[in-house]
Structure 1
Amino acid sequence: MSFIQSLQLSHFRSYDIAKMHGVHSGLIVLTGPNGAGKTNILEAVSLLTPGRGLRSAANEDIQNKNAPTAWAIASTIETGGAEVQIGTGIEVGGSKRLVRINGAPAKSQMALSDYLSCIWLTPQMDRLFLDSSSGRRRFFDKLIFAFDATHAGRVTRYENAMAQRSKLLREGKFDQSWLKSLEAQMAETGIAIAAARQDFAGRLQRACDMAHDNEETFFPKAALHLAGTVEEMLARMPAVEVEELFTYQLSQSRMRDAETGGAATGPHKGDLQVRYKAKDMPADQCSTGEQKALLIGIILAHARLLRAEKGAPPVLLLDEVAAHLDEKRRAALFELLCDLGGQVWMTGTDESLFSAALDQAQFWTVKQGKISKG
């Protein structure tokens, strides 16, 4: 199990210097008024993993505008019984995020995945089932990344190849050898992406189905389905044949893609469809409360799956998770989170929302750019 023992923020968002020492391995509750900087702390924790964090912010946008030096995050992480010093930030005037592990520069952000895995839930994600499919793809790919760090690389390679192909088509440069090479790369990586999503959807569905009856009372089981042309072909054809067919489709859609941009088909068009299993109802037709409960149920199932396959759950970052849950559902959630056995960071404006976790959680107060225990 990996968890954060200490966290120091320098010139990060609303903070000049802020420190947290003696952070324990279970439930962590951050309380304070709106705008105090609670979510900024969760964002900092999320940046101890590869990627752009829970806000998907550009590195330069994280900088405290009043600070003369660049932002940085330092943390002590306990993993496998050993302590690891993690540091990340940017240089003054720079935009590239740098990473240090035990004082030594890391080759890339990907090195962080060896030490910590984070999954988050934010208020903006409450519309996951209502908004466009791109948000659901990003959410699902993030879940996969916790198990397979190479998945992000596949998605990046696919998107880069598609962008280069779109540029050629838009400029009218129908160089056959160049286009064939890019389309071959799109087909190879695209099928790998779709196959990884399909495999993971099956594993996550089984984890959802294994929820105990008492959990389902408060966080209903979800039925997951991957929709999309490539995904549907993979369900009935060998991957090699799908790759050949996808390559052919790309070659045939060049004229249309030159006008519309992107590509007419591919894993970038896929969608994660979710249903409330017991009611057999699409998630986007459920009530706001049911959608929130379904999403929490998926996060809990993912954490159980990670614990079963990797030996430890991820660090969970749950921003304002208790705000729209009734008292019984909050108590059930805290109990389930404790049972997972991992570190969970939660935020809220009112400490009373976490009264059911008083005996299990470590409380921190966030106010006027300061973080204090208790």
Structure 2
Amino acid sequence: MTGAAAIAFPRLGRLTLADFRSYAALDLSLSAPLVALAGENGAGKTNILEALSLFTPGRGLRRAELAEMARIGGEGGFAVAIALSEEGAPLRLGTGLEPRPGEPAVRRSRIDGVPVGSPAAFAEHVRLVWLTPAMDGLFAGSAGERRRFLDRMVLGIDARHGARVNAFERALRGRNRLLAEPAPDRAWLDGIEAEIAPLAVAVAAARRATVDRLARVIAAHRDDASAFPWAGVVLEGTIEEMLTTLPEVEAETRYRALLREGRGRDAAAGRALAGPQASDLLVWHGPKDVPAERASTGEQKALLIGLVLAHARLVAEASGIAPFVLLDEIAAHLDPRRRAALYTALSGLGSQVFMTGADPALFADLPAGSETFLVAPGAVRPL
């Protein structure tokens, strides 16, 4: 998609919950592009964001098991539904966990009442990006945390990426089990490495393409005076380096050879030491030209917000759908200048944005036409 005219801006007009987390039932009507949910800690604000996050592949913004989302005291299942307008036509999406007596509960997803195979089908109608307090330590945390953050970015563009990552990780675990045997069968290792190599290259290529596109979006919106500094981003890894000069087919051959040559080393380590499972997303503070982990806590938060805003722009451009943006406890640690700048930036996205915060005063400067709701345990009302 090359221009705003080619981008759809879906609006969520109604959210209904049944036996989800702290909500026995909720029927919430919405109309504004910017929606704030205010209430005390533990009131259920994040539960609403988590419910919305289920309309994208993966495990939602808390990365919780589905069974954990069923209300305590309920029947073991839950339902979440949204009604949205898409170019004037109403559309209803639903998902949830259906309990079955004597059997494991099963997830169901529907579009206008018609069953679909998985939440990946929702990607034709909605996209989501989010930021939660758990992500605040991203730059100083482990490479694994940054890979998960990057994979969420890729999923915002390519709903199939999660399945590729899962298949790669399953195959890699199978190889680790074989290498742990006293005398692993070489033919079996050859076979599983032949399965791993194309999956590994596909995962690395998708991540690399997303980082490259993200860097271009950041450059296009670069503003050294912004309250949310632009970020430099690059993906570091064995296969990613190969892909700078080799076509994917040749990278697969090279990686398969690396796996074969590294069997003894990997067996001693108990894991594969080279591949996309060891890659890292490197981020630096662009205006200051310092690694993100060396920036102050406040600068890291502002840098992370800037990354999420850039990701939202990328998702809109790449998919043709302006994503819903979920921002949990976003404003509490921002000074008044940065809060005002955030609300201005969010208005400029064109996306529908859902924010949470403990103090309603944090949202006093939202632009006209925004909505603020007061959240109490099990209930939500306009403020």
Same fold (TM over 0.5): yes
| 2:317 is the counterpart of 1:308 | yes
Report the counterpart of residue 16 of structure 1 in structure 2. Answer: 24
Aligned pairs (5 A) from 1:183-202 = 183-202=193-212
Q: Percent identity?
A: 43
Q: Give the aligned length.
A: 372
| CA distance in structure 2 between the partners assigned to 1:172 and 1:373 by the alignment | 65
Q: Does 1:51 find its partner at 2:55?
A: no
Confirm or deny: 8 A CA contact 2:175 2:192 kept in the other structure: yes
The amino acid of 1:319's aligned partner reads: D
5+ long unaligned stretches in structure 1: none
**1:356 aligns to what SS in structure 2?**
coil
Q: Which whole-Å deviations, capped at 9, do the CAs of 1:179-216 have from their partners, x for residues lacking one?
A: 222111211111121122222211101111122538x4
What CA distance in whole angstroms lies between the structure 1 residues aligned with 2:125 and 2:326? 16
- The answer on 1:3 being equivalent to 2:36 is no
TM (norm. structure 2) is 0.93
Which residue is 1:326 aligned to?
335
Q: Which residue of 1 aligns with 2:150?
A: 140
The Cα of 1:267 is off from its aligned counterpart by 0.5
Q: In structure 1, what is the Cα distance between the partners aligned to 2:222 and 2:201? A: 35
Q: CA offset at residue 233 of structure 1?
A: 2.1
What is the Cα deviation at residue 306 of structure 1? 2.4
Aligned to 1:297: 306
**What does residue 221 of structure 1 align with?**
230
Q: Deviations over 1:249-287 (max 9, x none)?
A: 111222332333331110110000000011110000100
2:155 maps to amino acid: F
Measure how far apart 1:365 and its partner are. Answer: 1.0
Per-residue deviation, 1:127 = 0.4
Within 2, Cα distance between the matches of 1:295 and 1:307?
19
* Unaligned segments of structure 2, at least 5 residues: 1-8
Report which stretch shifted further, 77-86 or 43-52: 77-86
Query: Which residue, 170, 174, 177 being the options, matches 1:164?
Result: 174
Alpha carbons of 1:239 and 1:264: their partners in 2 closer, same or farther (altered >3 Å)? same
CA distance in 1, matches of 2:67, 2:374: 27
Please give the secondary structure, in 2, of the residue aligned with 1:5: strand
1:267 is matched with which residue: 249, 271, 276?
276
SS in 1 for 2:267: helix
Distance apart, 1:112 and its partner CA = 1.8
Q: Residue 192 of structure 2 aligns to which amino acid in structure 1?
A: L
Match of 1:85 in 2: 92
Contact 1:122 1:320 in 2 (8 A): yes
CA distance in 2 between partners of 1:224 and 1:89 (Å): 36
Is the partner of 1:90 in helix, strand or coil?
strand
* Correspondence for 2:133 among 123, 129, 136: 123
Aligned equivalent of 2:243, options 221, 224, 234: 234
1:150 equivalent among 160, 166, 186:
160
Return the offset for 1:358.
4.8
Could you tell me which amino acid in structure 2 is paired with residue 48 of structure 1? F
Aligned CA RMSD, in angstroms, stands at 1.6
Kept in 2, the 8 Å contact 1:74–1:88? The answer is yes
Q: Secondary structure at the match of 2:35?
A: strand
Distance 1:144 1:12 in 2: 27
Residues in 2 aligned to 1:264 and 1:69: alpha-carbon distance in whole angstroms: 41
Deviates more, 1:258-267 or 1:271-280: 258-267
What is the rounded CA distance, in whole Å, between the counterparts of 1:88 and 1:298 in structure 2?
A: 29
Cα displacement (A) at 1:49 = 1.7
| CA distance in 2: counterparts of 1:66 and 1:358, whole angstroms | 40
Instruction: Tell me how far apart the structure 2 counterparts of residues 244 and 267 of structure 1 sit (CA, whole Å).
Output: 15
In the superposition, the TM-score normalised over structure 1's length comes to 0.95
Residue 280 in 1 paired to residue 289 in 2? yes
Moved more, 171-180 or 32-41: 171-180
Instruction: Name the counterpart of 2:256.
Output: 247
Q: Tell me the CA shift for residue 20 of structure 1.
A: 0.4
Q: Find the aligned partners of 2:378 and 2:17 in 1 and give their Cα distance.
A: 11
Q: Does 1:60 align with 2:70?
A: no
Aligned partner of 1:204 in structure 2 is: 214
Q: Distance in 2 between matches of 1:102 and 1:373?
A: 28
Task: Name the structure 2 match of 1:176.
Answer: 186
Establish whether residue 258 from structure 1 lines up as the match of residue 267 from structure 2.
yes
The structure-2 alpha-carbon separation of the partners of 1:69 and 1:249, relative to structure 1 and needing over 3 Å to count, comes to closer
Contact kept, 8 Å, 2:67 with 2:76, in 1: the verdict is no
Q: SS of 1:207's equivalent?
A: helix
**Mapped pair 1:345 → 2:354:** yes
Q: Secondary structure at the match of 1:262?
A: coil
SS of 1:240's equivalent in the other structure is helix
Deviation at 1:173, TM superposition (A): 5.9
Distance 1:172 1:96 in 2: 39
